[in-house]
Amino acid sequence: MRNFLLTLLLTVYSVSVMAELSIQITQGVDNPIPIAVVPFSWQGDGVLSEDIAQIVVNDLEQVGEFRALSPGNMLSMPSEENEVFYRDWRVLAQDYLLVGKIDRAPGSQLVQVQYEFFDINRELKLAGEILTGSVSQLRDIGHEISNVVYEAVTGTRGAFTTQILYIVADYSPTGEVLYRLEKADYDGQRAQVLLESVEPIMSPSWSPDGEDVAYVSFETDLPRIYIQNIVSGQRRQITNYPNINSSPVFSPDGTKLAMVLSKDGSPDIYVQDLVSNELIRVTEHPAIDTEPSWSTDGRSIVFMSDRTGQPQIYQLELGAPSYQVERLTYDCFQCLKAKFLPDGVNLVHVRRETRQDPNYQIAIMNIDTLRVITLTDTALDESPSIAPNGSMIMYATKFGGRGVLDAVSIDGRVKFRLPSSRGDVREPAWSPFFN
């Protein structure tokens, strides 16, 4: 039995909870994997606040690769292995089966969730355990079970227990704007406000341990970079330089922060050591250098520069003499907002193909072969952020005249949308794995 008393990333000072985003699947695979998720039996009193089986169904269907069997079409409702008859599920053409039960001791807030996962065709139990947690953690337990199922079937670690950061710009009838930095589960549920301001908030970025977030706030009427602890809400101002202070992003080991400053003239890339506070300028060019992002090994930074007249992507080797810079993109009119996939070879970026084409779309370029795959077909796509397992890319776009978050799989086959009930949503940042 595994203790599942999760450390929930709560902002204890937040007074409002914004449940604004809810996934809508816009495109799935042609032949999704059939799976039966039997409603978990409940051994305790009363009604539980969350339906674990439905959470798992939603997770698996939202990534577009699974199709869940309706409970109304099930021939039986097993809750443990000795009640499973494989022939029943083969008749229903199901490849996989998940069953489970939930129990709670009288008067206790702790529940025990037992689940078991089966391969129907091989008549094989693939996974099973007992998870213990509080009633308030039922949603986390459901996401954890989804992770196990997803990895057992696809071989890729699930990202259902991850979270996202994003900015909401909420417009009043009089035209005033209220900005919020919010955090939510990957599917937009359980949203919480980390910061609220009448001045713009920009460029949220997770620390690699998921405990802190860096961002830009204009609360002093000037752009300044802050780091804020997610649980405690404690924050510290990192920069107070003249002019531009923008685009903070943590190094993979969490010890440094890359950023854009214009204190010495044109915007350039700087790296600040978060322990010693030493600040190093790593680009020096009269053009605009911006949008830094670290390589997976932390040895280089990719960034956008218009030093050739239009935005293109460059890579800076931090260990090389004089910080050697190499141009990576040549075949697009504008390429920007670059980030490496976990493989360290494929580069996600925003792409405008030609001067005549006004559309900005999300694409992947292999920096070894220079092969480019365009993943989206909407017009104003920006701010791509990559799931920590490298399977999905979330980005900001426009739908129905408002800013929304969309996501696309790295092969382009699966897409989903997180529309907002109000306001414009922008600048998503997908969290790292928390364990």
Six token digits for residue 106: 């009288």
* Model pLDDT for residues 312-369, shown as the tens digit of each residue: 999 999 976 777 899 999 999 999 999 999 999 999 999 999 999 999 999 999 999 9
What is the structure's pLDDT at 154? 94
Q: How confident is the model at residue 3 (pLDDT cuts 50, 70, 90)?
A: low
Residue 9 has pLDDT above 60, yes or no: no
What is the structure's pLDDT at 17? 42
What is the structure's pLDDT at 20? 63
Residues contacting residue 312 through CB under 8 Å, at least 6 positions apart: 304, 305, 306, 327, 328, 329, 330, 332, 334, 335
What is the structure's pLDDT at 8? 34
* Model pLDDT for residues 208-242, shown as the tens digit of each residue: 999 999 999 999 989 999 999 999 999 999 999 99
Q: Which domains are present in the chain? A: 31-154 (3.40.50.10070), 163-430 (2.120.10.30)
Question: Of the ranges 41-55, 108-122, 157-171, which one carries the lowest mean pLDDT score?
Answer: 41-55
Q: How confident is the model at residue 2 (pLDDT cuts 50, 70, 90)?
A: low
Q: How confident is the model at residue 13 (pLDDT cuts 50, 70, 90)?
A: very low
Residue 58 has pLDDT above 80, yes or no: yes
Q: How far apart are CA 224 and CA 219, in angstroms?
A: 8
pTM attached to this predicted model? 0.90
Q: What are phi and psi of 153, to 5 degrees?
A: -90, -45
* Model pLDDT for residues 379-406, shown as the tens digit of each residue: 899 999 999 999 999 999 988 888 899 9
